[in-house]
Chain A
């Protein structure tokens, strides 16, 4: 993988911010988009914009082919058995909420248990909190080790016959930890629970094979994987989706509407009420083509090198606290940190003056922040277009930040 070639597809990277070349280290929040994706959106809008699944006319057919073609690309991307198992949603949040509101409400009863972890993003916490409150179930948290990893022994201890749902992120957006989803799914299934996976931070960076993982549900978002905002995917095993009720009702999702009752379309459309996110799906399809052509193995290897390099260089800076495992083999391409006593907002502001974009705050993971005993942290996250030079600039910026604040203190 040639990073210079990769970068040439991302025109946004070629600009100055505050008088310095942009160093974009916030891809875990949202990735940049390659020209291939923007062209796919433009072509759709310029040449065949039309509604899907209804028009007899030519453009309608082209739009339907584009939309359903994107579904097949997603199916292949995650190795689902059938496109009936691929539902387009607004993003990971909607995907997880759909599982909680539909599958959860129908299958969880008072006294049942839902198991998540301390490292979840708010989108994989609150739907389960709400479900627990509505059903009288108990929400349980898997503890984390000192380095932020999960022990399978803890999973075996906490998951039991009362557990109906286990929902875990594949990669932590704060710690960078990669969780053993396949093993956790096995334990969940031994107790009759379903395994839900938050794939938001995994899908952009590594191969996901839903059949190999044997997960029951998986959600992810296009915008973190070079695709447009506003679209994501809910994967679910067919026999589970078939027995679930839609949570949105209206056009597109119906089979037959009578005065007082209606029936639903077959999978996956019964979960796609209203005119779907047509351009978004086509853009996601283009993003998948782009990532597949470069190769997810190559992207993952590149990010692994960057993470190892960043961990080494950043650890060498005095006063640096790095959260999550220091072993690059145990983490994905992001590093969450605090430097000296400088508040992460101030770090992010000083770095921004250098043209370096990082995230600062609680990263939508307040329970994890509590566990880390940090009210906020800064995060640098890497993607296929980042380079060692970006990390050198980050480290130089962090040293400057520290010096700047030690001067004023």
Chain B
């Protein structure tokens, strides 16, 4: 197998795919965002609990490939406890990373860094960004 593939399917990605963090649905007065990728059938339901401009909790449910589901798991892990502003900033960095644009490499991305290899597989970028788009949509709506 090519090393490109190993770059795509890093151990940490497979770990998130197999053992997703924050899987489930938040009840009560949480925000619910449903999003799908119409070209392939991947779908995600993201629930967010936001208080005082802060993401208190985030959970996801969905169906999809290893990249979309691991990305959702990592995203929920990364934004819990962050301010809306910081969560959206992170989303921008992630988007730049996927598009191969420059981004501030001093920021600690944690597990998310493992998704860097996806940028080399243009057909899979939409898989990785699905959960992030859902998060952006939810938080931007909440800001309004």
Contact = CB atoms under 8 A, between A and B. Distances in A.
Interface residues of A, number: 21
Interface residues of B, number: 24
B107 interface: no
Contact of B14 (A353, A360, A409): A409
Interface string A5-20: 0000000000000110
Interface residues of chain A: helix, strand, loop or mixed (majority): helix
B41 A375 contact: yes
B67 to A, nearest CB: 7
Nearest to B123: A349
Given A376-B41, A408-B9, A408-B11, A345 B2 contact: no
B63 interface: yes
A397 B79 CA distance: 38
Contact of A369 (B9, B41, B65, B124): B41
B2 A18 contact: yes
A343 B68 CA distance: 11
Nearest to B8: A349
Interface string B1-36: 110110011010010001000000000000000000
Contact of B41 (A349, A366, A404): A366
Interface in A350-409: 350, 353, 360-362, 366, 369, 375-376, 400, 404-405, 408-409
A346 interface: yes
Contacts, number: 60
Contact of B121 (A349, A405, A408): A349
Contacts of A353: 1-2, 4-5
Interface in B64-97: 64-68
B41 A343 contact: no
Nearest to B124: A349
Given A345-B124, A349-B121, A361-B41, A375 B18 contact: no
A34 interface: no
B124 A362 contact: no
Nearest to A369: B41
B12 to A, nearest CB: 10
A366 B41 CA distance: 8
A91 interface: no
A199 interface: no
A328 interface: no
Contact of A404 (B1, B65, B68, B121): B1
Given A345-B67, A346-B67, A349-B8, 18 more contacts: A18-B2, A18-B4, A343-B64, A343-B66, A344-B65, A345-B68, A345-B124, A349-B5, A349-B124, A353-B2, A361-B40, A361-B41, A362-B41, A366-B41, A369-B41, A375-B43, A404-B9, A409-B18
24 contacts: A18-B4, A345-B40, A345-B42, A345-B65, A345-B67, A345-B68, A346-B9, A346-B66, A346-B67, A349-B5, A349-B123, A349-B124, A350-B1, A353-B1, A353-B2, A353-B4, A362-B40, A369-B41, A376-B40, A376-B42, A376-B63, A400-B1, A404-B9, A405-B14
Interface of B: 1-2, 4-5, 8-9, 11, 14, 18, 39-43, 63-68, 121, 123-124, 127
Interface of A: 18-19, 343-346, 349-350, 353, 360-362, 366, 369, 375-376, 400, 404-405, 408-409
Query: Nearest 7 A-B pairs (CB), nearest first?
Result: A345-B65, A343-B65, A362-B41, A408-B14, A361-B40, A375-B63, A376-B41
